[in-house]
Amino acid sequence: MKPRTVLVLVVLAVLSLAGGWYLDIHSRQAETSSLAAGQPAFPDLAATLASAARIEISHQGSTVTLTRHDDRWQVTQRADYPAIPARVHALLAGLAGLHLAEPRTADPSFYDKLGVEDPARPAAASSLVRVLDAAGKPLAALIVGQKRPQSQPDLPDLIYVRRPGEAQSWLAEGRLDVDADPQSWIDHDLFNIAHDRVATVTVTRGDQHLVFARKGDAMTLSEPAEHPPLEQGALEQVGRALEFVSFSDVRPRAQMPGDALATTVVTTTDGVTLTLALNTVPPPKPVPGEKRAEDAPPPSAALWINATASGSNSAEVDRLNRVLSGWAYQVGAWKESGLAPTLDDLKARPAPHGPPPGGSPGALPGQPPMPLPAARP
């Protein structure tokens, strides 16, 4: 046999083997996709959720970690503050109930079209969620991408997903909401004491001691008894200071930042006493050379509180202390005028408009008053 003929046969044999390997790989991939389509993304997860001890959600280099302590989930990045139970349970149930509907691309160059690229990339649209047991063994891990709109709002979500380390991406069906922001996993509502429940408010701020009491529908200042005319709206703000109170940050009570500002004691008509310690943190100093937008408001001081409930209404007291005990909270700085007002804050302000002394509306300084129109018969 001629050398040229041998070479041709060898080349054909190699091509044949390569083609067979290629077809075999793709046929097995197609078979795997066919078997997985319509099946749960994590068939065994529901049976192992009782052993879940840690949840990690990562997005663009940021990670939120939820850890389980007894029957309570906590947010590591917020000093182990309790996570919203319903949201954690919804995430775990969503992973267990997620079904793979259709295979999608296995080409990494198209991952960003579906939002299933590497979640660690700075501009990635994807998120990585991992559920681990107490030993650190992964029970589930999934890269979660974009959602595809459904034709009806009551239908399950359609979500592009991919398993870490696997090329194949999928269109999955289910309910899955992942968020790597620690703030989104905690309940920011503290308490809501309606103004008509407030009986008295005592504010001690430095050497100033103010006592407010409700008389009928109005909040009044009873101490000091001698005081200048007061703005009723400012007084009502004191009575409403504990309505719809929420927080933006939380720390252990022993780590409450700032300097002592005031102590405020609020009693209610139904037997609850709330004692609040208030601290203030000065606004950050401007960074040399940093430009700030002309319409941007100046930075304000931060207001932190910690609170303790007591009184005869044991059910309400216990409920409040379950939330408040051991924690310090940052609340809106605008709450200071209601929670810790000074006497100057309460003083009635002079009317901003009106005729100058000895004048009439429309008269300019140094001019005689404008004549009034004659009365019609």
The CA-atom distances, in angstroms, between 209 and each of 225, 263, 342, 343 are 11, 10, 9, 9
* pLDDT at site 21: 37
Percent of the chain with pLDDT over 90: 72
Res 221 pLDDT > 80: yes
Distance CA 89, CA 182 (A): 16
The answer to whether 80 touches 68, Cβ cutoff 8 Å, is no
Mean pLDDT, the chain, whole residue set: 85
Judged against a pLDDT cut of 80, whether residue 151 lies above it is answered with no
Q: Please report the pLDDT score of residue 22 as a whole number.
A: 36
Instruction: Give the pLDDT band (50/70/90) at residue 300.
Output: confident
Rounded Cα distance between 295 and 369, Å, is: 40
pLDDT band at residue 17 using 50, 70 and 90 as cut-offs:
very low
Residues whose CB is less than 8 angstroms from the CB of residue 252 and which lie 6 or more positions away in sequence, other chains included: 79, 326, 327, 328
Residue 15, both tokens: 């091509």
Alpha helices, H only, 253-331: 314-324
Give SS3 for 261.
Answer: strand
Count CB atoms within 10 A of the CB of residue 175.
Answer: 14
Residues 6+ apart with CB under 8 A from 279: 256, 257, 258, 259, 260, 261, 303, 304, 305, 328
d(CA 362, CA 377): 25
CA distances in angstroms from 150 to 38, 104, 147, 157, 281, listed in the order given: 18, 18, 9, 7, 47
> Tell me, what's the pLDDT at 285?
78
Tokens 């990562």 belong to residue = 58
What pLDDT is stored for residue 254 in this prediction?
96
Categorize the per-residue pLDDT at 20 as very low, low, confident or very high, splitting at 50, 70 and 90.
very low
Higher pLDDT, 45 or 152: 45
The band of 19, judged by pLDDT with boundaries at 50, 70 and 90, is very low
Phi first, then psi, for residue 17 (nearest 5°) are -65, -40
Q: What is the pLDDT of residues 316-372, one digit of tens each?
A: 999 999 999 999 999 999 999 999 999 999 998 876 665 555 545 544 444 555 555
Which residue matches tokens 């949840």? 55
Using DSSP's 3-state secondary structure scheme, residue 289 falls into coil
Task: Look at residue 165 in the predicted model and tell me its pLDDT.
Answer: 93
- Using left for φ > 0, alpha for ψ between -120 and 50, and beta otherwise, residue 258 falls in left
Q: What are phi and psi of 227, to 5 degrees?
A: -155, 160
Other CB atoms within 10 Å distance of the CB of residue 198: 24
> For 245-297, how does the pLDDT look when each residue is reduced to its tens digit (9 = 90+)?
999 999 999 999 999 999 999 999 999 999 999 999 998 877 776 776 666 66
Question: What is the arithmetic mean of pLDDT over 158-183?
Answer: 95
Structure tokens at 364: 């300019």
CA dist 189 and 140 (Å) reads 32
The pLDDT, as a whole number, for residue 284 is: 81
Q: Where are the beta strands (DSSP E) in 70-191?
A: 72-75, 81-82, 99-103, 127-133, 138-148, 157-162, 169-174, 189-191
